[in-house]
Amino acid sequence: MARGGARAVAPAALLLLLLLAAGGGGVHCLRSRAESGATVLELRHHASLGSGGRSSRAEEARAVLASDAARVSSLQRRVGSYGLIRSPDAAAASKLAQVPVTSGARLRTLNYVATVGIGGGEATVIVDTASELTWVQCKPCDACHDQQEPLFDPSSSPSYAAVPCNSSSCDALRVATGMSGGQACDQPAACSYALSYRDGSCSRGVLAHDRLSLAGEDIEGFVFGCGTSNQGPFGGTSGLMGLGRSPLSLISQTTEQFGGVFSYCLPRKESGSSGSLVLGDDSSAYRNSTPIVYTAMVTDPLQGPFYMVSLTGISVGGEDVQSPGFSSGGGRAIVDSGTIITSLVPSVYAAVRAEFVRQLAEYPQAPPFSILDTCFDLTGLREVQVPSLKLAFDGGAEVEVDSKGVLYVVAGDASQVCLALAALRSEDDTPIIGNYQQKNLRVIFDTAASQIGFAQETCDYI
């Protein structure tokens, strides 16, 4: 793989994704194993957990897309808030305090879960690239959401310890959330945290450290949130794994083990298929069928935990889309595992939409659905030629979206099939590349070289 400079290759942790069938059951402890120098954790799709199987396909799609819209709105608010809470004095005071410690919107839109070890116990957590802090529910719990695994009991772990409020980790937490980094505290006092979610969900507790286990790879002194008051639709999981770009995220805390590199490949099917999440830069764990192409991460001290790239163009069916939005700031985009549908600034979306409508003019249009305003009636058709969708990034990297990531099937009889893209509210909003458009791609996040890579990969192996 291309690198900005020579460095030791970190071991890889290969995390397998197994999708649950729609309306599937609850959360179970997922397997882990070592495999040819890689560490393997099983991951499962979380979107359908807790649905109970009683809702129609359209009702479930409407709920998922509404949650996705809430997440997009939350991410926009967070992007806009960093410049307001980060003063020059605070930035100079601590290199650890780069972003506010908050999370995304409803967690039902964060689609993948994994089981990790915490202090000798196990916790199945939601994986999210836009979250900075890992947290799990802990005893004694004042108010906890239902989870299928036993609550983590700090008293049963000899390696557990609360983080004191005058520690550097707590300073990072304080400054990131807009509090004064120089606030006095007594040594014995524990560092408290409070994460707020846009839908009213929350997690509150104390910052702590303990042993984190990833399929036998032990991370001593891993800092996480021990939540004793947690509310929200977390689908029976134990908490959240933060993979964001921040000092308290799992990626930053495991730099020694995994070199600040992780990647994933999301399968194209929504049931009965598998993909992988790899911690480390061991490319032998990949199954890519095309060379990896890289684009630089946008380096902005106010960008928060997000992985941003410069989106320079889009082509539909081989036709380049022309829009002033690419050159007026609308091309800076977040690559996100938790958002489903890709959202574009209005001017870029309008141009992409117009080209799709032109190329699909032979098919009757159907009513819009939720955040998807461009839909077609494909009833009775056995085959449809779907225009290709290609994304172009700074540095010349081009990525073709898998055909399954172009259209979103609302109705099982194909009477309502929609373009799987949405418009943001303002030209000033930040575009988001959602996971629906990342299917069958190996997406590599290399924080050490500050670059993101893409390659075609069939994500249906175990």
Catalytic residues: 128, 336
End-to-end CA distance of the chain: 23
Residue 244 and residue 307: Cα distance in Å, rounded? 8
434 vs 68: CA distance, rounded Å = 10
Query: β-strand 121-128 against 239-242: which pairing, if any?
Result: parallel
- Mark out the alpha helices in 128-246 (DSSP H runs): 168-176
Residue 5: CB atoms within 10 A of its CB come to 6
Q: With beta carbons less than 8 A apart as the criterion, state whether 176 and 97 touch.
A: yes
Cα separations in angstroms, 77 against 66, 133, 198, 241, 263 = 17, 18, 10, 21, 26
Residues 311 and 325: beta-carbon distance below 8 Å: no
Query: Is 449 in contact with 285 (CB distance < 8 Å)?
Result: no
Question: How many Cβ atoms sit within 10 Å of the Cβ of residue 367?
Answer: 11
**Long-range contacts at 82-87 (CB < 8 A, ≥ 24 apart):** 82/302, 82/303, 82/304, 83/302, 85/177, 85/178, 86/301, 86/302
Q: Give the integer Cα–Cα distance in Å for 105 and 123.
A: 21
